[in-house]
């Protein structure tokens, strides 16, 4: 069920809140609403969301100039706008005459019996099926170079869900990950985020009698969410003061921050997939760091998590527009393919608002 949240508030109204209810003054009254169309990909994944819109109710009771003030996921933005444009109001009144009123309205997208956020339990069980290789011997176990920083799934962040994921990786004698699987995860999304992060990490191979050899390494990752919550707060501030703009208005070349390519996810190979795609929403903060990557749609969960993991390492020049520091946003689509001779990925950016 898709619910319209009844509260309607705004800081700058044609009719002030104190004037509401006085003789001849009246706020607009919603008399006919249309339910938004639930995005198919979000419905499939069981993802709920909320969009806060700001718009004008003109003197005829029609909605004009809607814009997104705040959104939990860009996939819900356009359906919310399309629905609000079909709403009908009894116009606001001031001094006995119909007037235009600027308003804000939150629209919630809710599903009954929503499955775990991000990916399903069935997806998690699939990546837990591979048996950890046995009988591999080594004198020195494989070691991770540096630290592993997995992307925090935004749907878990939105639900204030923290947790852990433990995965195993088979590191070959060249230091490359060739097999992997989930041992345990407190949420399916954490399992997928951990897998792609561990695939992207660099390793020193195990040693046996002084020579590199194949060996298994077990890795446990914690998902705290505190840094990401701070990023959410900062992003909301920039949205409220109008300091977030489309990235194409800041950068002549949106590829300027791209670091390396996007690897083909091993999890997709496990699912016997040779190709796929993912579209994700990215935000670039005032320092040029890509933050809060959010999935929009994908052909398989592993593709969206790999796209987000890769993008989280990119750095752009600090975004500025007309001499002031801003945040920038962009929508990226990655197409993946793999053959016996190798894997490729292509990245395209959309110029418009998602």
Write out pLDDT tens, residues 262-307. 999 999 998 889 999 999 999 999 999 999 998 888 899 999 999 9
pLDDT of residue 351: 63
pLDDT digits (tens, 9 = 90+) for 146-202: 999 999 998 888 788 899 999 999 999 999 999 999 999 999 999 999 999 999 999
Degrees (nearest 5) of the Cα angle 42, 46, 52?
Answer: 60
Instruction: Give percent of the chain above pLDDT 90.
Output: 56
Distance between CA atoms of residues 63 and 55, nearest Å:
7
Which are the contacts of 219, defined by CB distance < 8 A and separation ≥ 6?
144, 148, 166, 167, 168, 169, 194, 198
* The pLDDT value given to residue 186: 92
Give me the pLDDT at residue 155, please.
80
Q: Band of the pLDDT at 17, cuts 50, 70, 90?
A: very low
Chain-centroid distance of CA 8 in Å reads: 27
Q: Read off the pTM.
A: 0.67
Per-chain mean pLDDT for the chain: 85
Domains defined along the chain, listed by start: 2-109 (3.30.2420.10), 121-223 (3.30.2420.10), 230-350 (3.30.2420.10)
Q: Give the residue-averaged pLDDT of 17-21.
A: 46
Query: What pLDDT is stored for residue 41 in this prediction?
Result: 64
């Amino acid at each position: 069920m898709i619910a319209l949240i009844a509260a309607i508030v705004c800081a700058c109204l044609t009719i002030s809140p104190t004037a509401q209810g006085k003789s001849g003054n009246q706020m607009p009254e919603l008399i006919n609403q249309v339910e938004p169309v639930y995005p198919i990909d979000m419905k499939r994944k069981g993802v709920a969301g909320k969009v806060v819109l700001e718009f004008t109710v003109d003197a005829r009771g029609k909605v004009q100039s809607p814009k997104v003030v705040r959104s939990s996921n860009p996939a819900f933005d356009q359906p919310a706008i399309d629905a609000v444009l079909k709403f009908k109001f009894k116009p606001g009144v001031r001094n006995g005459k119909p007037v235009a009123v600027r308003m804000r309205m939150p629209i919630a997208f809710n599903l009954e019996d929503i499955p775990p956020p991000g990916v399903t339990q069935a997806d998690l069980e699939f990546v837990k099926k591979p048996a950890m290789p046995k009988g591999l011997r080594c004198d020195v176990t494989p070691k991770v170079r540096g630290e592993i920083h997995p992307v925090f799934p935004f749907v878990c962040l939105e639900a204030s869900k923290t947790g852990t994921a433990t995965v195993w990786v088979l590191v070959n004698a060249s230091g490359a990950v060739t097999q992997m699987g989930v041992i345990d995860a407190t949420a399916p999304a954490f399992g997928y985020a951990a897998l792609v992060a561990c695939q992207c990490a660099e390793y020193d191979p195990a040693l046996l009698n002084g020579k590199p050899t194949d060996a298994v390494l077990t890795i446990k990752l914690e998902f705290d969410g505190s840094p990401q919550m701070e990023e959410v707060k900062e992003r909301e501030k920039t949205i409220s003061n109008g300091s977030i703009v489309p990235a194409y208005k800041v950068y002549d070349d949106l590829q300027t921050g791209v670091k390396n390519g996007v690897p083909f996810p091993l999890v997709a190979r496990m699912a016997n997939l040779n190709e796929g795609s993912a579209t994700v929403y990215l935000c670039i903060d005032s320092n040029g760091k890509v933050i809060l990557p959010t999935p929009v749609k994908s052909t398989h969960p592993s593709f969206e998590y790999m796209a987000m993991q890769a993008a989280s390492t990119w750095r752009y020049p600090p975004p500025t527009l007309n001499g002031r520091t801003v945040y920038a946003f962009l929508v990226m689509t990655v197409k993946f393919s793999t053959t016996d001779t190798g894997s490729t990925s292509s990245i395209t950016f959309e110029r418009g608002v998602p």
